[in-house]
Structure 1
Amino acid sequence: MGSKGFMDKIFGNKPAAEAEEYTEIDLSEYEQAIGEGPAETYVRVAELTSLAQIPELKREIYNGNIVIVDITPIKGDSLTRDRALKDLKQVAIDVNGDIAGLGENQIIVTPMSIKIDRTKFTAK
């Protein structure tokens, strides 16, 4: 499967005409930690700049954490991008987790027993 087909499978295929407008949102007032103490599962956020980071991302997933990865820095390097996505997809399979694209530049990988619902919903 070519890199285009692999990317479409992870991110979905959006027509180029659907350009999304970027708006900066200040969430600083909402970023206070609620409660103190350790959690059983963390949501970790990473920016992937090289394949050297993959072992640490895999370790986080194997430890039961949810990982959101920004692939913007490697998006133009199809060899690195495809290898990283293949490795992360394999981890999701290994732990019976899940992997999905969040927009064009981010992916989310979940550990065991956490599945990603790919249907969008709106509040009623």
Structure 2
Amino acid sequence: MVGKGFLGKVLGSRATEENEEYTEIDFSSVEKEVGSGPAETYVRVAELSSLSQIPELKREIYNGNIVIVNIFPIKGDSLTRDRALKDLKQVAADVRGDIAGIDENHIVVTPMSIKVDRTKFTVK
């Protein structure tokens, strides 16, 4: 089951607190591709709305990419959500990677040799 994950706590998920006001941040000025040529590993972001998307997510992980999945669209359908999480846990195990909840709506699945550190650290 994916609940409020450790990264949500680390990142300070204040927008979800009722008494906090949400502020939109424009990242367009910092979203520039650095370097040239292809990378060995990509961080891919996906929104999961049906089980038919699972094979493509698996393919990305088998290809060595890190996948951040928004599971909000299937959160209300426990059968679909549980099946999707089971499939993603299996692919993480197959590639000796890792899977973890970022917050209640997002999970991250990593390929071989990349593990999610579940301890909180402080930036000084």
Q: Structure 2 length normalisation: TM-score?
A: 0.84
**5+ long unaligned stretches in structure 2:** 7-13
Distance 1:23 1:106 in 2: 20
Q: Which residue of 2 aligns with 1:87?
A: 87
Distance 2:68 2:102 in 1: 9
Q: CA deviation at 1:107?
A: 0.2
Q: Which of the pair has the greater relative contact order for Cα pairs under 8 Å at 6+ separation?
A: 2
**5+ long unaligned stretches in structure 1:** 1-5, 13-17
Deviations 1:12-57 (A, max 9, x none): 7xxxxx9524432211111000011100000000000100000000
Q: Which residue of 1 aligns with 2:50?
A: 50
Residue type at the aligned position of 1:89: K
Distance 2:28 2:2 in 1: 32
Distance 2:24 2:79 in 1: 31
The answer (yes or no) to whether the contact 2:44–2:66 under 8 Å persists in 1 is yes
Distance 1:67 1:120 in 2: 21
Distance 1:77 1:23 in 2: 30
Residue type at the aligned position of 2:39: A
Report % sequence identity.
Answer: 76
Deviations 1:62-109 (A, max 9, x none): 000000000011111111011000100000000000000011100000
Q: Which residue of 1 aligns with 2:10?
A: none
Distance 2:24 2:115 in 1: 29
Alignment of 1:1-124 (within 5 A): 6-8=1-3, 11=5, 20=17, 21=20, 22-124=22-124
